[in-house]
Chain A
Amino acid sequence: MINIYINGQQRSILPGKTILEACKESGIHIPTFCYDERLKPEGSCRICVVELEDSHKLLPACTTEIAPEMRIATHSPLVMRMRKHLLEIMLSNHDISCLKCERAGNCLLQDYAYEYDVDIEKYRGRTRESAYLAENKFFELDQSKCISCGKCARICSQLQGNNVWAISNRGFETEVSTPFGIDMEEAGCVHCGNCVSICPVGALKPKKEHKFRAWEINEIQTTCSYCGVGCQMYLQVKDDKVVGVKPAYGKSNEGLLCVKGKFAFDFINHPQRLTTPLLRLADGELHSVSWEEALQLIADKTQEIKNTYGADAIMGLSSARVTNEENYLFMKYMRAVIGTNNLDHCARL
């Protein structure tokens, strides 16, 4: 452990940690755009600058390792002035139509602009335009909202492993695009949407059927219902409808999702969902009936087949898609109530 001082308070921290990690451990919040604990720190956005009290040097907290007896000021007047200045530069070419921005209420740039009391008009210039359009059916890219933090490119190359995004050009022309601006799919995009989930502003956002603002939704953590990885996710709910999915940090998914987990939730509200029991009548067609009628008929038929042919004439197919509780209860139903071990599920498929 080494001794450092954060805002005058002595702290004992493991060597090798960065200033940002030391501050996090000490419960001190430092703003970040380009930082994510899963990615190699890049120090490109500079918003995490802190001041070394001895030299008055400003250093990015995310890429600077702590050193013995380091004295760090996280919110000194110089630091605050610098962060404000950085935000004002970021906003100089930013489309500030926050009133109708998707991410209003859930945008780091908006949060920090408020926190640091920025002057939006200070350096106001031309808004950046989208040269690369990232055409695909799942999400859109609005370069006028991009702050060039590069997290989209880094999550794609470092975690997802598809290397679709690059930060191209320099200065005002800086933009997010595929290498040489080739098509998304040609660049290897698999539509996992991890870049969309990590974007701290309104640059990358899902194309969606139901619009919602951050304050209109509830987020419920659950387990993805597709493959066996068991990713943790938040279902975003507005007016009793699932309107979006956001990754959660589960032990098996580390904050990642795939195209199905992120985007394939439309089935939940789909108009073709079954809502009433159906019974095949003499005309050979399925007709809506009440729950009582349907359940009684199943019970009667089950009893009749059991009486006539024995319990082993009935086969139960449970499901690898439903819960443990449901599998257990169906198992009990087949064995204890019907009296057969003719029970299986789709494990072999």
Chain B
Amino acid sequence: MTNPLTDVKNADVIFVTGSNTTEAHPVLGSYVRQAKEKGKKLIVADPIKIPLAEIADVFLQIKPGTSLALSHGMLHIIFAEGLDDKAYIEQNTQGVEELKELVKKYTPEYTAEICGVEKADIIKAARMYAGASVSSILYCMGITQQVNGVNNVYGLSNLALASGNLGKPGSGVNPLRGQNNVQGACDMGALPDVFTAYRKVTDHNARKSFEDAWGVKLSGETGLTATEAIPAALEDKIKMFHIIGENPAVSDADSNHVKKALKKAFVVVQDIFLTETAEFADVVLPAACFAEKDGTFTNSERRVQRVRQAVAAKGQTDWQIIMQLMNLLGYKCHYDQAEDIFTEMRALTPSYAGITYGRIEENNGLCWPCPNEDHPGTPILHIEKPLKGKAEFKAVEWQPAQESLKTEYPVLLTTNRIQHHYHTRTMTAKTKAIDEYYPDCYVQINPADAATWNIANGEFVEIVSARGTVKVKAQIADSIKKGTASMPFHWPDGANVLTCAAELDPISKVPGLKLVGVSLRKI
């Protein structure tokens, strides 16, 4: 996120898209409600009529996969009506002419046709977003879990740049990070192409600094993403998976092919429970959970916060396990405590260089970039000007996803999350009350579709995609757009049996989990 979570309350207009905020980030969802209560304006664009849509000033129930077209349509109005921030564009951006040219054809009529919404609402949203003195964009997986996810993000950053909504309180382009430490895992370089602080493995200088610190030669070849590794295992190129605290047998797209890959390879799993993935493992190591260890998590607003041990560990901490394996494989090293690892890491990580456990304590968390120990941290990015100097507008044409064009699978299914469960339910289903309220998977469908397909509320339906078939109960819900369906992804043998892992966003390698072509019938 460019701006802190609470900063959303400083916005005059909040544009929420592809985020069911009150379900997936409930406390942030409450800030949006607080802002609305104080008279701020709210725009929601989502295929599902999410709870925030109920209080929105404009709600655009767009077809899945049409976010980029909506952004272009809003920009069309913004440029046509002179709502753009010309001074900001002039000083801080490049490529505006190309974008202006591209969005010319995205008239309200054309955009309304693509997105399946009223053109008046597109115009209203554009005027509201760009007409306010400060507007914030909140987005989440509805934007990124698409085969054109990166382009969707470009669409939103174009909106922010064109209206000068960057680098000031209440503004920003704010991707909501889903997991407690997904930001930190990325910052720490748990990615195939970067070391800590996003320094490329292909960059000679970056590699050299890590080689010097670690005393070994390092590979300069970009590795595989998780989504690429699964098919690579099926092709015998990957022979072993070492998995920590992750449950791809349920959480990854196309469960059937994930399971095949896990069966084929040698699999090591470090986890706190015998997850569906651990069931495929050759060795399982019991890990300590968050309440049993010290360390840090970095939240969605880049704030590094402490994790403190409250009770004795049931297994061993993941870092202790890894340290032992490093030594067994001949790399001699020793850390007495998590803080020792943090100290080593920050010496190699410019954005974390000024963060210490002591300073986290004193400041109630610190946001990176924090380059030195006198630095107060950076809650808001791009103040005065974009970090890289000139920000680029990206002019990319909207295209329909292949999944939306398959006539044999006419219903567009999106995956979703519910507030009470977390990811694959490994932890949340252990709380009896949660399990009793939400014991089973289900699919939500539109009332008119339900009538056409002769499906009553609570009846079992069979859902088929090119990848597999699932049988779940149907819930008839007004919140679902006609021709679409929505299903939580938390359960095994659920949504991810249907999702497609073969078609990925070309840049982010994210599968199109939010747009799956399916057919649906009563059993």
Contacts and interface: CB of A to CB of B under 8 A. Distances in A.
Interface of A: 137-138, 158-161, 190-192, 207, 218, 220-232, 235, 237, 240-242, 250-254, 256-260, 263-268, 270, 272-280, 286, 291, 294-299, 301-303, 305, 308-309, 311-349
Interface of chain B, helix or strand or loop or mixed? mixed
A329 to B, nearest CB: 5
Contacts of B299: 223, 228-230, 252
Interface string B302-328: 011111111110111111011111101
B434 A222 contact: no
Contacts of B416: none
B188 A331 contact: yes
Interface stretch (B73-81, B210-218, B476-484): B210-218
Nearest to B286: A274
Interface in B233-261: 233, 237-246, 248, 251-252
A164 to B, nearest CB: 13
Contact of A278 (B227, B284, B430, B434): B284
Given A303-B329, A326-B317, A320 B27 contact: no
Contact of B433 (A137, A273, A323): A137
Contacts of B304: 324
Contacts of A334: 242
Contacts of B242: 298, 302, 314-317, 334
A299 B223 contact: no
A316 B317 CA distance: 17
Contact of B187 (A137, A314, A324): A324
Given A340-B219, A343-B189, A349-B252, 6 more contacts: A225-B290, A253-B27, A259-B420, A299-B329, A315-B224, A320-B246
The 9 A-B residue pairs whose C-beta atoms are closest, nearest first, are A230-B299, A161-B33, A323-B295, A341-B223, A319-B245, A258-B26, A274-B286, A228-B177, A137-B433
A286 B268 CA distance: 12
Nearest to B292: A268
A137 B436 CA distance: 8
Nearest to B218: A335
A235 B428 contact: no
B293 A342 contact: no
A316 B244 CA distance: 8
B267 to A, nearest CB: 9
Contact of B284 (A224, A274, A330): A274
A342 B430 CA distance: 33
B289 A268 contact: yes
Contacts of B281: 278, 280, 286
A311 B224 CA distance: 12
A319 B214 contact: no
Contact of B274 (A274, A305, A314): A274
A223 B361 CA distance: 12
A337 B219 CA distance: 11
B192 A344 contact: yes
Contacts of A317: 226, 229, 241-244, 246, 248
Nearest to B252: A349
17 contacts: A159-B30, A160-B33, A222-B310, A225-B427, A228-B176, A230-B297, A230-B298, A240-B311, A277-B283, A286-B284, A298-B285, A317-B226, A324-B184, A325-B338, A327-B190, A344-B192, A348-B227
B405 interface: no
Q: Which of A159, A235, A274, A328 has the most CB of B within 10 A?
A: A328
A318 B178 CA distance: 16
A12 B436 CA distance: 56
Contact of B509 (A241, A311, A348): A348
B133 interface: no
A291 B186 CA distance: 29
B305 A347 contact: no
B25 interface: yes
Interface of chain A, helix or strand or loop or mixed? mixed
Nearest to A270: B430
Interface residues of B, number: 149
A223 B297 contact: yes
Contact of B312 (A220, A240, A303, A329): A240
Q: Which of A192, A225, A237, A257 has the most CB of B within 10 A?
A: A225
B58 interface: no
Nearest to A263: B431
Contact of A207 (B25, B186, B433): B433
Contacts of B305: 223, 230, 232, 250
Interface string B19-30: 000101111111
B493 interface: no
B143 to A, nearest CB: 13
Contacts of A241: 311
A228 B179 contact: yes
Given A321-B180, A324-B296, A274 B315 contact: yes
Contacts of B34: 158-159, 161
Contacts of B295: 322-326
A187 to B, nearest CB: 14
Contacts of B239: 305, 308-309, 313-314
A193 to B, nearest CB: 11
B91 interface: no
Contact of B181 (A191, A222, A297, A320): A320
Given A228-B178, A264-B428, A237 B311 contact: yes
Nearest to A192: B26
A227 to B, nearest CB: 5
A228 B183 CA distance: 8
A258 B419 contact: yes
A259 B323 contact: no
A329 B319 contact: yes
B457 interface: no
A302 B245 contact: no
A70 to B, nearest CB: 30
A138 B433 contact: yes
A258 B27 contact: yes
A348 B510 contact: yes
Contact of A341 (B201, B432, B511): B201
B6 A252 contact: yes
B246 to A, nearest CB: 5
B453 interface: no
